[in-house]
Amino acid sequence: MINLGPIIFGLVFGFVIGSRLRYTEYFTNSSLIVMFIILVLVGCLEGAFPYYTDFSFSTGFIAAAIALVLSKLIFGRKKNTN
């Protein structure tokens, strides 16, 4: 059975953090893709919580990574030019 608590918390946390990130000359879409790949790798290496047996990776961490990337693409703020 899938535990929805970590997934929902990860999605909310990822959306909040991703909406606050800004684009700069160093943080572009290509760096966002690299960051997503690294986050998925960390989620797979981290493993599931000890008594969660539904998946072999951290569902909360992967949900946060997906939400971070999606919210950055949807709600991402432009760099302030003032």
**pLDDT tens for each residue of 13-52:** 888 888 877 777 777 778 888 888 888 888 888 777 666 6
pLDDT recorded at residue 77? 64
80 pLDDT band, cuts 50/70/90, is low
Domain boundaries, the chain: 7-75
Total-model pTM: 0.71
Residue type at 80? N
As a whole-number percent, the residues of the chain with pLDDT over 90 amount to 0
